[in-house]
């Protein structure tokens, strides 16, 4: 692993939502968190009730009051993550799944929720029914939730910034720059709308704490339109992270949850060689990524780019990420060593290919020089045999030829 780390240029981060996962990943060599899926923190017993209260709220004020209850938990979770990462970068992704994933489905649980909310069972069932979508993965999720319920993004921003400030106070030597990641954007204006909420909230928190903390707001690129409009999106994003799980599903137009039903037939018929959710489709999805990196960097040269889909731990996908100039891959903790190794192999393969190309060019140049020398010698012989008038003419020609030859040699040498 030390050999691998010596050669690789791609950083390796991890996808971790808990301090335990983060610690394990650090032991395995992760250099930061590339994706913390915050929704997992809402599912825990002590928070789900408050989150459901938020979903069942009738007014913004009620929603804010419910979120206020979750804020300390979320802040505490983030503090533990920052502690576990000891100053390494941590990217925190804001709420992504559709809200229906958080409501109960069992009759008894629905009744309990109704009682807790002081609402009738019918009202609660109506709310749950209202969350139903035909295509939830293409529905009311990701930053669309923040557009309709900005108070969720505000609460999460407060939790991130307060946690970062607290941990920085305890460890002034750590370089803590929170990376807030907004999921599922597909349009620069949409991203700006949410980013403005995040920035206003974060700046107010930082000022209130009398801190000078810096932070970054970036986005996941996981909808093909986001990749296509990356030059615009980069005006609003300080970093891109490719969510290739969604990007694959949306580019192929089949669901990551259902495609298993028919993909076997595709392998049998030799239409596909691999599961595109496991091994990155470099031709299609990869093309979108490459284009997004190039166009994003044209707008913002310092834009940093990573990947946090499942492909971030797959060796051939890691090699591709190296080739298109990503700064890091992020994968589950136990895939970190494989990613480190693959990143090193990609860097070495690239160096070898460069050397081979250089050697081939050098060989070609040497051959041309030898040919030119031979021609020159033949011309000199011919000039020696010629009459005086021709000799003079040839000598002038030779002089300028030699000068040109020396000039060319010099250029080749350089």
In the complex, the residues that contact Mg ion under the rule CB under 5 A are: 222, 243, 246
Strand partners, 306: 241, 328
- Select from 99-107, 224-232, 238-246, 319-327 the region that touches ligand PEP (CB under 6 A): 238-246
Number of Cβ within a 10 Å radius of residue 232: 18
Residue 41 CB, shortest distance to Mg ion, in Å, is 17
Q: Is 225 in the site for ligand PEP (CB under 6 A)?
A: no
Residue 286 partner contact from Mg ion, ligand PEP, none using kind-dependent CB cut-offs of 5 to 8 Å: none
- By CB under 6 A, tell whether 246 contacts ligand PEP: yes
Strand residues in 199-315 grouped as ranges (E): 216-221, 239-242, 304-307
Under the binding rule (CB under 6 A), the answer on residue 37 touching ligand PEP is yes
Stretch that binds ligand PEP, among 109-117, 237-245, 293-301, 400-408 (CB under 6 A): 237-245
8 Å CB contact between 180 and 92? yes
Q: Pick from Mg ion, ligand PEP, none: which does 31 bind, CB < 5 to 8 A by kind?
A: none
**Closest by CA position to 179, among listed 219, 227, 150:** 219
Using CB under 6 A as the binding rule, whether residue 244 contacts ligand PEP is answered as yes
**18 lines the binding site for ligand PEP (CB under 6 A):** no
* SS3 state of residue 330: strand
Q: Is 255 a residue that touches ligand PEP (CB under 6 A)? A: no
Site for ligand PEP contains 245 (CB under 6 A):
yes
Q: Is 222 in the site for ligand PEP (CB under 6 A)?
A: yes
**Six-digit token string for 300:** 């913002």
Q: To which residue do tokens 């350089």 refer?
A: 414
Q: Which of 77, 79, 96, 232 binds ligand PEP (CB under 6 A)?
A: 96
Decide if residue 313 touches ligand PEP (CB under 6 A).
no
Q: Among the candidate windows 4-12, 239-247, 282-290, 405-413, which touches ligand PEP by CB under 6 A?
A: 239-247
Residue 35, interface with ligand PEP (CB under 6 A)? yes
Cβ contacts of 384 within 8 Å, gap of 6 or more: none
Residue ranges in 171-217 assigned as alpha helix (H): 188-208
15 vs 38: CA distance, rounded Å: 11
* Contact call for residues 327 and 10 (beta carbons, < 8 A): yes
> Which tokens in the block code for residue 83?
């502690």
Residues of this chain that bind ligand PEP (CB under 6 A) = 35, 37, 96, 222, 243-246, 308-309
């Amino acid at each position: 692993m030390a050999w691998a780390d010596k050669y690789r240029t791609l950083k390796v981060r991890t996808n971790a939502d808990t301090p335990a996962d983060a610690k394990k990943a650090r032991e395995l060599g992760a250099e930061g968190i590339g994706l913390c899926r915050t929704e997992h923190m809402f599912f825990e017993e002590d928070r789900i009730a408050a989150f459901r209260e938020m979903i069942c709220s009738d007014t913004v004020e009620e929603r804010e009051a419910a979120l206020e209850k979750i804020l300390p938990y979320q802040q505490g979770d983030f503090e533990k993550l920052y502690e576990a990462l000891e100053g390494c970068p941590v990217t925190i992704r804001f709420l992504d799944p559709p809200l229906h994933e958080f409501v109960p489905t069992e009759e008894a649980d629905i009744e309990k929720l109704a009682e807790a909310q002081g609402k009738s069972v019918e009202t609660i069932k109506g709310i749950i029914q209202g969350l139903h979508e035909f295509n939830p993965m293409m529905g009311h999720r990701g930053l669309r939730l923040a557009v309709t319920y900005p108070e969720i993004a505000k609460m999460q921003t407060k939790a991130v910034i307060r946690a970062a400030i607290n941990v920085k106070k305890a460890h002034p030597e750590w370089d803590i720059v929170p990376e807030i990641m907004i999921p599922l954007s597909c349009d620069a204006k949409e991203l700006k709308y949410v980013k403005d909420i995040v920035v206003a909230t974060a700046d107010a928190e930082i000022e209130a704490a009398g801190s000078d903390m810096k932070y970054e707001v970036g986005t996941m690129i996981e909808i093909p339109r986001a990749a296509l409009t990356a030059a615009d999106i980069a005006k609003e994003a300080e970093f891109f992270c490719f969510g290739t799980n969604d990007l694959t599903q949306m580019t192929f137009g089949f669901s990551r949850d259902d495609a298993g039903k028919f993909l076997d037939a595709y392998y049998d018929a030799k239409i596909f060689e691999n599961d595109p959710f496991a091994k990155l489709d470099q031709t299609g999805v990869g093309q979108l990524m490459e284009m997004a990196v190039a166009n994003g960097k044209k707008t913002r040269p310092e834009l940093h780019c990573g990947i946090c889909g499942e492909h971030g731990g797959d060796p051939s996908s890691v090699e591709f990420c190296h080739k298109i100039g990503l700064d890091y891959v992020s994968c589950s903790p136990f895939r970190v060593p494989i990613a480190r190794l693959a990143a090193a192999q990609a860097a070495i393969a690239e160096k070898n290919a460069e050397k081979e190309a250089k050697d081939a060019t050098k060989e070609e140049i040497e051959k041309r020089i030898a040919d030119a020398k031979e021609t020159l010698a033949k011309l000199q012989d011919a000039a020696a045999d010629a009459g005086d008038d021709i000799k003079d003419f040839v000598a002038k020609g030779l002089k300028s030829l030699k000068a040109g030859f020396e000039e060319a040699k010099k250029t080749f040498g350089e």
